[in-house]
Chains A and B, each alone.
Chain A
């Protein structure tokens, strides 16, 4: 019988530092056979191992169209990420996955997509943005609202310009008041206010909102006001996990195992759950 807890060995291809404490890492399977067999859907997550420190859960933030590598992004905040932070190309880590559900990218076809992210929460949105932009014809207008505390806190900042150049795509960047630099050309303000001001058309739209609980809390009423139904607002939960495969009991949120039935939920589903996230 297979050992479902045994990770695959991955080689670190590239390390990119985004902010003072956020990095993303590109990895590939050491075993070429595994690489060929592997596929995932945007929105899914994996368990990433720094051997000796343990495993952590991260969203796979690369697009599922990219076949040469997987990418994940993390903030240096604990035992595992301390070790991941020190990785260089050529180093070895472990990976299990993909796990969990994914964004219903087929269901979203033909719709206008609104992506709203705060701070470190960009990676789980980034995979969907790239996926949509790489299948540009299938989707309507794409709006990306990305807010961070300060100018220095943007993750994948260089990609924002690439997205903005695509057709029917609007990128709105904002920093919290006080977080701007003198030459900051974009918005200053909190995400909910910026969205309100931006007058994003909400007809035939779905929104994906990921960020700290406080941001989500104040953003949802704005989306509601814009006319987005609860079933059209999606988010990705970040419950702590250990096994990722519906056994260890840690990610339970009401009747769901976030690792199996999630991490993607609509606002409509979330209102049925306790606030255990």
Chain B
């Protein structure tokens, strides 16, 4: 199945490059069969055989669409999984990409990682939703949001004190390498608030206070925007489960505003819109 997709992918990309429909294909490559897959940028038709598709294709490649170095290569085709595809929708909503200037090659995804990544357990976007060309076929599961938030529910069963103690332990390991930020398609700011110093809103030090402030900021700046690709969590060298923070905001958006980021381009974004009847039972 995946090897069929891989072959189709190469053919599609060869055609796109040969017909000069695009200047570059942003896809996955791999040096050795059991090695990690990583992003590659193919500009010549004869190189398309470097493209691979398998369950080690973790990266959310849409993070590259807003990068100057990649933009300078010209019009891109991009390989996306269903979850990555949701990021395209958000980027378009936020006017970060011109969808007409990008060829989106969707690949049917049965899940990544061995064992499967946590995000894949309740995935309902095995098939990319907005791709220009879609390769392969996997039935989309039903949106089982209860399953999607199961990990968070289990976590929230703890007391607030236990939760605080947990995060303190997690944040003590954070070294502020900002891999979580750099890998995220939604963290496209030219200058992140943590890199601004007039005023210094977040301590740059990687102590637990500064780390808490940073992770609150990172997570909340994703509120209603995070598409749950979990790349931040995958790449964290300290193994911090940022997914839980993202999930809490995703669930909040879902619960209170019936909103899931990147599912509907026409939906008014959670932050940036409002309804007069929004709940306010917590306001004195």
* Residue positions of A touching B, CB distance < 8 A: 78-79, 82
Contact = CB atoms under 8 A, between A and B. Distances in A.
> Number of contact residues on B: which range applies?
under 10
A79 B195 CA distance: 12
Q: Which 6 interchain pairs have the tightest Cβ spacing?
A: A79-B197, A79-B198, A82-B198, A78-B198, A78-B197, A79-B200
A82 B199 CA distance: 11
Question: DSSP majority for the B interface?
Answer: loop
Question: DSSP majority for the A interface?
Answer: helix
B201 to A, nearest CB: 12
Interface string B192-211: 00000110100000000000
Interface of B: 197-198, 200
A79 B199 CA distance: 8
Contacts of B197: 78-79
6 contacts: A78-B197, A78-B198, A79-B197, A79-B198, A79-B200, A82-B198
B196 to A, nearest CB: 9
Nearest to B200: A79
A250 to B, nearest CB: 14
A170 B197 CA distance: 43
Contacts of B200: 79
A33 B72 CA distance: 58
Nearest to A80: B197
A78 B197 CA distance: 8
B234 to A, nearest CB: 29
A43 B200 CA distance: 32
Contacts of A79: 197-198, 200
A60 to B, nearest CB: 25
A86 to B, nearest CB: 14
Nearest to B196: A79
